[in-house]
Chains A and B, each alone.
Chain A
């Protein structure tokens, strides 16, 4: 147990949260530091399970991005600790996307784990975050603006029609409601990461600025500690005056640099964190080394929003998808690779015309990852790997688009090529079915009258 924890609580009124994982289910919880955290008298165990980082496919197709068994294992570890210690457990953005089906999936897992372990009766609270396309359509038709974020245009009907599924980003409100109703376990739909942790802190009367910062710093678990080690637990403590964060893995420490560095992680701007109901201003935050493994933070300021606006995420299907892979070793072919892909594309155009499908060549060894932004794109490697993606409305057409493009690279007509028995090397002489292609259609905000209006809550008793 870290020294800071042995000292006992640093004030009369505190709330301690252990966070075992920054993306529950995505990679397994490391048990050692989580057990340490459970010995530190936590008042809650909380974890975020969602992220838009996994791309638009899981939301569009309504699937998780990780195996069911990993989700079960992480939930089991948290649930057993939570019941043993008699403290609430909160999971937000269930199953990567926080759609209704993912909430139901996680609630079902909790129910099954309670039965498997013969747990004494407890209350599971949950809420949904999906927004119907019909509700959005009514607002647009009525002339209301669904405003675009990050330079996107306001939502129009065509984009809405091209959308498969939409979730709204909940704030602290459904969590507080469920805690007030006696939930011992909460499975949340899509939520702001920081709200999962801020909710119990705000409910206990801690200042909002500190409470939201508390969530902001805890939500990625050990990412706020150094040296880098993922999926390890961290312990947070909030008082009326400060937030403290402690690394629990013996090899890790929370330092001023690591905690401040984390405050800016995966956000466009390190000074502001927005959520339903307002934002926090972190520009006056003060970071101090409290003890060897603990950092103390003061000074975050809560700024309530003048108008309630909720963030919406939506994904729409582009089409079915097939993938092919080829390699190139001939330096002349490498120097003329755009002619090769151009030839292959032309063969697809001759078969299908120039619209009604998508064809992408991703050229590894040149500029696959940065595209036009690659400064070294003029000096490719001595070998190239090219991933071909064919996307079309039907699987049959997607397969054919991909197959024509992949195979025709083999037949590309370069005027001075020495190798006349095949222009590329095949890893497999086939194209492979991949997940259907989706795209993010919504990254928008919408006005709300009530922060609970999109997030219906439910509570049920499980266990024996």
Chain B
């Protein structure tokens, strides 16, 4: 039977981190090829989906790649302001992944 599952239940790692001082990069890493393939096919982490989730313009996504050796979907978003500027509350960019955890992934066994 197919159901929908939360991304946090099926991914091995979901993280965010500075990529330099002007960008934050997100890594979603899966435990096996089948899960990785299913999430890729679902489109829930596509470029357009990422824009919807974070409410950002597509021009703010600098990179969006599928990285087979690590079974990972990886994307990078320009920061609202350079890291550590007054007003920035995530100097390392390490808590930006929160909204990804509860995304529903359809078609999961």
Residue of A nearest to B82 (CB): A440
Select which of B19, B70, B80, B83 is within 8 A of A55 by beta carbon: B83
Contacts of B87 in A (CB 8 A): 358, 360, 362, 389
Binary per-residue interface labels of chain B (74-102) against chain A in the complex, 1 for a CB within 8 Å, 0 otherwise = 10101011111111011110011011000
Indicate if the CB atoms of B55 and A373 lie closer than 8 Å: yes
Q: How far is the CA of A279 from the CA of B78 in the complex (A)?
A: 22
Select which of B70, B83, B89 is within 8 A of A53 by beta carbon: B83
Contacts of A285 in B (CB 8 A): 69
Indicate if the CB atoms of A261 and B86 lie closer than 8 Å: no
Contacts of A256 in B (CB 8 A): 69
Contacts of B65 in A (CB 8 A): 269-271
The stretch of A123-131, A145-153, A196-204, A336-344 in contact with B is A145-153
Task: Determine if B9 is an interface residue (Cβ-Cβ < 8 Å).
Answer: no
Indicate if the CB atoms of A151 and B70 lie closer than 8 Å: no
Q: How far is the CA of A439 from the CA of B22 in the complex (A)?
A: 11
With A52-B20, A285-B69 known as contacts, the answer to whether A267 contacts B84 (CB < 8 A) is: no
Contacts of B96 in A (CB 8 A): 369-370, 373
Contacts of A374 in B (CB 8 A): 99
Q: How far is the CA of A173 from the CA of B11 in the complex (A)?
A: 41
With A261-B70, A264-B27 known as contacts, the answer to whether A375 contacts B99 (CB < 8 A) is: yes
A-B interface pairs (CB < 8 A), number? 141
With A270-B74, A375-B55, A439-B82 known as contacts, the answer to whether A264 contacts B20 (CB < 8 A) is: no
Task: Determine if B42 is an interface residue (Cβ-Cβ < 8 Å).
Answer: no
Task: Determine if B108 is an interface residue (Cβ-Cβ < 8 Å).
Answer: no
Contacts of A55 in B (CB 8 A): 83-84, 91
Residue of B nearest to A150 (CB): B22
Select which of B62, B80, B85, B95 is within 8 A of A440 by beta carbon: B85
Task: Determine if A287 is an interface residue (Cβ-Cβ < 8 Å).
Answer: yes
Given A372-B55, A376-B99, 5 extra CB contacts under 8 A? A52-B21, A150-B78, A151-B22, A260-B72, A265-B27
Indicate if the CB atoms of A57 and B67 lie closer than 8 Å: no
Min Cβ gap B104→A in Å is 13
Select which of A264, A269, A360, A370 is within 8 A of B98 by beta carbon: A370
Query: Closest 3 A-B residue pairs measured CB to CB?
Result: A55-B84, A260-B69, A260-B70
Binary per-residue interface labels of chain A (428-446) against chain B in the complex, 1 for a CB within 8 Å, 0 otherwise = 0000000001111001000
Indicate if the CB atoms of A265 and B86 lie closer than 8 Å: no
Task: Determine if A95 is an interface residue (Cβ-Cβ < 8 Å).
Answer: no
Min Cβ gap A392→B in Å is 11
Indicate if the CB atoms of A56 and B82 lie closer than 8 Å: yes
Task: Determine if B17 is an interface residue (Cβ-Cβ < 8 Å).
Answer: yes
Q: How far is the CA of A376 from the CA of B101 in the complex (A)?
A: 13
Indicate if the CB atoms of B29 and A372 lie closer than 8 Å: no
Task: Determine if A266 is an interface residue (Cβ-Cβ < 8 Å).
Answer: yes
Q: How far is the CA of A388 from the CA of B21 in the complex (A)?
A: 23
Indicate if the CB atoms of A260 and B84 lie closer than 8 Å: no
Q: How far is the CA of A376 from the CA of B72 in the complex (A)?
A: 26
Task: Determine if B71 is an interface residue (Cβ-Cβ < 8 Å).
Answer: yes
Interface residues of A in 290-330 (CB under 8 A from B): 313, 318, 321
Task: Determine if B4 is an interface residue (Cβ-Cβ < 8 Å).
Answer: no
Indicate if the CB atoms of A53 and B91 lie closer than 8 Å: yes
Task: Determine if B53 is an interface residue (Cβ-Cβ < 8 Å).
Answer: yes
Indicate if the CB atoms of A56 and B63 lie closer than 8 Å: no
Q: Which of A53, A54, A371 has the most CB of B within 10 A?
A: A53
Q: How far is the CA of A49 from the CA of B91 in the complex (A)?
A: 18
With A52-B21, A56-B85, A257-B71 known as contacts, the answer to whether A269 contacts B80 (CB < 8 A) is: no
With A260-B69, A261-B72, A373-B56 known as contacts, the answer to whether A52 contacts B83 (CB < 8 A) is: yes
Q: How far is the CA of A370 from the CA of B16 in the complex (A)?
A: 12
Task: Determine if A263 is an interface residue (Cβ-Cβ < 8 Å).
Answer: yes
Min Cβ gap B47→A in Å is 14
Indicate if the CB atoms of B53 and A152 lie closer than 8 Å: no
Min Cβ gap B32→A in Å is 10
Task: Determine if A268 is an interface residue (Cβ-Cβ < 8 Å).
Answer: yes
Q: How far is the CA of A321 from the CA of B86 in the complex (A)?
A: 9
Min Cβ gap B29→A in Å is 6
Select which of B72, B83, B85, B91 is within 8 A of A264 by beta carbon: B72
With A264-B70, A437-B86 known as contacts, the answer to whether A371 contacts B80 (CB < 8 A) is: yes
Indicate if the CB atoms of A268 and B99 lie closer than 8 Å: no
Task: Determine if A240 is an interface residue (Cβ-Cβ < 8 Å).
Answer: no
Contacts of B25 in A (CB 8 A): 264, 266-268
Task: Determine if A462 is an interface residue (Cβ-Cβ < 8 Å).
Answer: no
Indicate if the CB atoms of B98 and A369 lie closer than 8 Å: yes
Q: How far is the CA of A372 from the CA of B90 in the complex (A)?
A: 14
With A360-B87, A369-B96 known as contacts, the answer to whether A270 contacts B67 (CB < 8 A) is: yes
Min Cβ gap A369→B in Å is 5
Select which of A264, A287, A318, A440 is within 8 A of B74 by beta carbon: A264
Residue of A nearest to B52 (CB): A375
Query: 15 A-B residue contacts at CB 8 Å?
Result: A52-B18, A53-B91, A53-B92, A56-B83, A150-B62, A261-B13, A263-B70, A264-B27, A269-B63, A270-B70, A287-B69, A358-B86, A369-B96, A373-B80, A438-B84
